[in-house]
Amino acid sequence: MLSRRKFLASTALTSATIAATSARSYSNILGANGKVNIAHIGIGNRGEQIINDFDKTGLVNVVALCDVDMGAPHTQKIMNKFPKAKRFQDFRQLLDKAGKEFDAVTVATPDFSHFPIVMACMQAGKHVYVEKPMSRTFLEAELMMQMARKNPHLVTQVGNQGHSEGNYFQFKTWFEAGVIKDVTAVTAHMNMGRRWHKLDPKMKTWPAPQPVPSTLDWDTWHTTAMPKPYNDLYHNGEWRCWFDYGMGALGDWGAHLIDTVHEFLDLGLPYEINPLYLEDHNDFFFPMSSTLLFKFGARKGMPPVDITWYDGLKNLPPLPKGFGGAVGAADVPATNQGQVQTTLSPGKIIYTKDLIFKGGSHGSTLSIIPEEVAKEMAPKLPEVPKSPSNHFANFILAIQGKEKTRSPFEINGVLSQVFSLGVLAQKLNTPLYFDAVTKTITNNKFANAYLTGAPPRKEWEQYYKV
C-alpha cells in the first residue's frame, strides 16, 4: 500500500495530469438503431432498478453487463432479461475486452467503489451515470470534478433522480421569481425504518470471517480498499452502514432532500460541521441516530444558512406551527429492502425571513405553511414548467446533444463533499471547522488527513491521477 505522503504527491490535487481522451463523433455514439450503446456495472438490487429505468426510455442498447457477483440470485433477473449482452465480473476486463462496443456506462455499486470505476470509465472515454452519493471521500469528489472539467465532451450524471422531477423545476422557478428568498435555515430529516443494519454498537472487532460465495469475486469487490475477510454483513446493501464502505443515511438520502437547496442557493461548502447528537456512536459503523449542523456563510447577497440534518427512527426534528401531515410518502421509491411506513416521511423544512416551506423527498414539490399563508400566496405564484425528461432519459438525451444533464459532476460533486464532511463529523464525533478556499479542516489535523481517505492498493493507484 502507498504511504499517505506518496499517495498525495501522485494525485491531481498536486496538478498531475493525463491526456484527455479525444471526443467521438455523434455518428459513433449511436448504435445501429439510433440508440446509445450502454454497459451496466452493478446489476443487482439498485442496479436492477436503474437498468430497467434506462430500458424504459427506449433510448439504449444494452451491450454488456458487469457485476462482481454474476450468477447470484440478485443478479439473475437482469442477466436473463438481456441474454445477448456480454458478461464480465471485473469492470477492468469489461473496458479492455468490450470497450469499443459501447459509449456510456451506469455504475450502481457500493459507495466506496464508485470512484475507481467512474475514473476508469472516463479515462476510457465513456459517458457516466453513477448512483448517489457520487463518492465516499472529499478527495474522490474533487478528482471526479476535475476529470469532468478536463473532459467536457463526456456527459456525467449522478443518480439523484428527483433532480429531474417536480421539486427541481418548482424550486428553480420559485427562486428565480423571488418566492424563495432570504433562506436562513433548513431542516432535513430521514426517519424511515429503512435503517440498513441491526448491529451491536458495543462491538469491538470486525465480523468473523465466513466462506466467500462461489459466485463472488470478493477481491475485486474491494476495488481500492484494503480487503477484509468476507462476511455477509458487508454485502448486498449492508455495506452502507460501515464507515469503510458507505455514507450512511446522510449520503444515501441527503441527495434526495437538500439537492435543490444546495444548488439554487449556491451554498458551496460549509465552514462548520457540528455533530449535535449521535446515538450509539462507535468506530465501525454509523450511529443509529444522528443530528448534524452544517453552517454555510453569506454569498451573492444571500444570508448565511444553517442546515440541520436528522436521521434515526425516533430522532424527529421540531416541526413548525401549521406543519400538518407528512408529505411525499408516495414519491419515495420502494427498493429491494422494501418500503417501510413511518410517522414522518423523509422531507425538509425551509425557513426564510418571511415564509416557511415544507417538502418531501425526491421529486416531491414544496408547499407553503401554514395553510392560511399558502392561500394568500397562491395568486402570486408563477407557473412551474413540466420536466421535459426523467433523469435517465436526460442522461441519454444529453449524450445525443439534445439536453444538458441536471446533476452533472460539477454540480453534484460539491454536494458529495458536503456529505463527506458530515460523515467525518459522525465518525470522529467532534465539531469540524472548514476553510473552503484551502479546502482544509483547520481545527483537527487528524480529521484533515481523512479528507483524502486511506491510500489505495498499489494496483489501483492510476485512478487517482487526472
Q: What is the pLDDT of residues 362-403, one digit of tens each?
A: 999 999 999 999 999 999 999 999 999 999 999 999 999 999
Question: Is residue 18 pLDDT above 70, yes or no?
Answer: no
**Residue with grid cell 416521511, as numbered in its chain:** 345
Q: Provide the pLDDT confidence category of residue 15 given band limits of 50, 70 and 90.
A: very low
Q: What pLDDT is stored for residue 197 in this prediction?
A: 76
Nearest to 197 by CA among 187, 208, 211, 207: 207
Question: Is residue 30 pLDDT above 80, yes or no?
Answer: no
For residue 6 the three cell numbers come to 506518496
Q: How far apart are CA 12 and CA 10, in angstroms?
A: 7
Question: Is residue 113 pLDDT above 80, yes or no?
Answer: yes
Percent of the chain with pLDDT over 90: 83
Continuous segment of H or E residues that includes residue 321:
none
Q: Provide the pLDDT confidence category of residue 233 given band limits of 50, 70 and 90.
A: very high
> What's the rounded mean pLDDT across residues 439-457?
93
pLDDT in tens, 434-444: 999 999 999 99
C-alpha gyration radius of the chain? 22
The answer, as to whether pTM is greater than 0.85, is yes
Better pLDDT: 145 or 459 = 145
Question: Is residue 7 pLDDT above 80, yes or no?
Answer: no
Q: What pLDDT is stored for residue 326 in this prediction?
A: 66
Q: How far apart are CA 339 and CA 345, in angstroms?
A: 11
Average model confidence (pLDDT) for the chain? 90
Residues in a beta bridge with 41: 66, 107
Is 264 in a helix, a strand, or coil? helix
Is 98 in a helix, a strand, or coil? helix
Question: Is residue 116 pLDDT above 90, yes or no?
Answer: yes
Interstrand relation of 272-279 and 104-107 (parallel, antiparallel or unpaired): unpaired
pLDDT in tens, 190-227: 998 755 678 899 999 999 999 999 999 999 999 999 99
